[in-house]
Amino acid sequence: MTSPAPLLEATGVIKRFGPLLANDVAAFAVNAGEVVALLGENGAGKSTLCKILYGYYRPDAGQFAVAGRPTTILSPRAARRLGIGMVFQNFSLIPALSVWENVALFLDDLPWVIRPGKLGRRIKRLAERLRLSVDLRLPVGRLAVGDRQKVEILKQLLAGARVLILDEPTKVLAPQEADGLFRTFATLREEGYGLIFITHKLREVMACADRVAVMRQGRIVGTVSRQEANEANLLRLMFGDSSPLQSRPSRAPETAPGEMVLELEQIATAADVGTVVLRDLSFGIRGGEIVGVAGVSGNGQRELAEIILGLRRPKSGVKRLWGENATGWSVARIRARGVASVPEDPLSLAMIPALTVRENLVLGSGRRYRRGLGLDWRRLVTDMDKSAARLRFPPLSYGARAAVLSGGNQQRIVLTRELAQNPKLIVALYPTRGLDTRSAEALRTLLGEARAAGSAVLLVSEDLDELFAVSDRLIVLRDGRIAGTFLPESFHTDAVGLSMVGAANAA
């Protein structure tokens, strides 16, 4: 197909942040009816490029053309007028307002007197055509993440976007939801929209992109059409010649299992606004074992972790840690006994943005670093340096405020802290989210090492490949119940996936 001019075209884009050359892109374009994937490691400059295209950052140099006409993109507002829309990683929705109100807020042509019915029909028509249906009257705060993303996309399209940029759209989605998103991509492509999306997952690229632009160190090092793309050449482009080997932690040999670390017996929780009710949940984890928890997000994963960590009390049932009844233990006591936690959203659940990295690292360590009235900072730094080195993280900047770090680095701070004291039970929710391929590999290796050292690991993830690679046993959560238990010999995407969405026989 010979299309006329590309929908959006950028040439010679240069962007520096102080001494750092964040972007040096010779040429980048998206055509009508095309899905372009931006692939690359953390810090390769994907987000920066997208934010420049949306007018969020102003480049130091660069020419832009929309549908062949040269233009400048000085602000997001200007970008929207040019028909460019962007869905950020952290959505910009107002939780207390309903879906249609959120969409309405974004429209430039909003009349003085809003007629909800008329606007609602307009949204609905578009939503049905693009298979983005959500209940327009619900407050956004009560929607699942996947639905919020739909609202973001609807909002942009209704405001007239022809080019849609999505920053890591699948990061927050379960596999099934991601497939739904890719179907939406296909519909949009047929309608002649141009799509750009950021990812660092090869599988997603293969699933839905027409063209893949691979970025490394701020440059586009190669653009590959889908027909030419395969894992090997993409990996080589991403990492240069030193592509990381797929070093999966070796599975523990079939030896005598360790002592029972965590045991849940018929745990049930009371109904509460905004939470999933756990029902009749029973399972155990032994030392030297990694138990994976699969499930579409929002099926009780968070609640399960909160029960284990002592943040939530069960209505009935018993929780045992190392054989002792720990149902009523405080968070501090549970942590002091060697339970580490990596929550799903590090910035809001595991760190204090206003405090420094150093201060964040010492919190939650109980009595360990107490010295007089204050704290033994020197010993802390020694321990944390060691922990970071073990995780193959670059050195930490202790004096920086946590708020200014990137999402990946915030995750690193949490992991460094939580894994520093050789925990005996690790409860990790989506720990590799936001980490690049190499760091994610290092973390999986570390979980394997922790298992070899006799620790128990509960790994909640939405990445089935990851779960299959490291788990000794897999449980599937659906509607707050265990919908299935799988052993390595039965790790198949089809079977586990079916169990997640509820069509398989409950085990």
Our finding on whether 444 is near other proteins (CB under 8 A) is: no
Instruction: For residue 324, list its beta bridge partners.
Output: 321
Cβ-based nearer residue to other proteins, 364 or 408: 364
> What count of other Cβ atoms lies within 10 Å of the Cβ of residue 19?
5
CB of 412 to other proteins, least distance (A): 16
**Is 410 strand, coil or helix?**
helix
Cβ-based nearer residue to other proteins, 31 or 360: 360
Cβ-based nearer residue to other proteins, 362 or 450: 362
- How far lies 368's CA from each of 267, 338, 374, 421, in Å? 32, 12, 12, 10
- Encoded one letter per residue, x for contact with other proteins by CB under 8 A and - for no contact, window 330-369 reads xxxxxxx----x-x----xxxxxxxx---x--xxx-x---
- Encoded one letter per residue, x for contact with other proteins by CB under 8 A and - for no contact, window 283-322 reads --------------------------x-x-----------
Cβ-based nearer residue to other proteins, 363 or 452: 363
CB of 141 to other proteins, least distance (A): 16
- How far lies 352's CA from each of 304, 356, 357, in Å? 23, 8, 9
Cβ-based nearer residue to other proteins, 59 or 343: 343
CB of 372 to other proteins, least distance (A): 9
Cβ-based nearer residue to other proteins, 48 or 341: 341
* DSSP alpha helix (H) spans, 95-222: 99-106, 116-129, 145-158, 175-190, 202-208
- How far lies 383's CA from each of 156, 216, 362, 388, in Å? 47, 33, 11, 9
Distance (Å, whole) CA 181 – CA 149: 9
Cβ-based nearer residue to other proteins, 405 or 467: 405
User: Site size for other proteins, by CB under 8 A?
Assistant: 29
CB of 360 to other proteins, least distance (A): 8
Residues 133, 68 contacting (CB under 8 angstroms): no
Our finding on whether 95 is near other proteins (CB under 8 A) is: no
Our finding on whether 177 is near other proteins (CB under 8 A) is: no
Distance (Å, whole) CA 188 – CA 203: 20
CB of 359 to other proteins, least distance (A): 6
* Among positions 129, 370, 392, 492, the unique one binding other proteins when judged by CB under 8 A: 370
Residues 22, 218 contacting (CB under 8 angstroms): yes
Our finding on whether 273 is near other proteins (CB under 8 A) is: no
- Encoded one letter per residue, x for contact with other proteins by CB under 8 A and - for no contact, window 372-411 reads -xxx---------------------------x--------
Residues 6+ apart with CB under 8 A from 125: none
Give the DSSP per-residue string, 25-82. EEEEEE-TTEEEEEE--TTSSHHHHHHHHTTSS--SEEEEEETTEEE---SHHHHHHT
In the 3-class helix/strand/coil scheme, how is 136-169 assigned residue by residue? CCCEHHHCCHHHHHHHHHHHHHHCCCCEEEECCC
Give contact residues for other proteins (rule: CB under 8 A): 309, 311, 330-336, 341, 343, 348-355, 359, 362-364, 366, 370, 373-375, 403
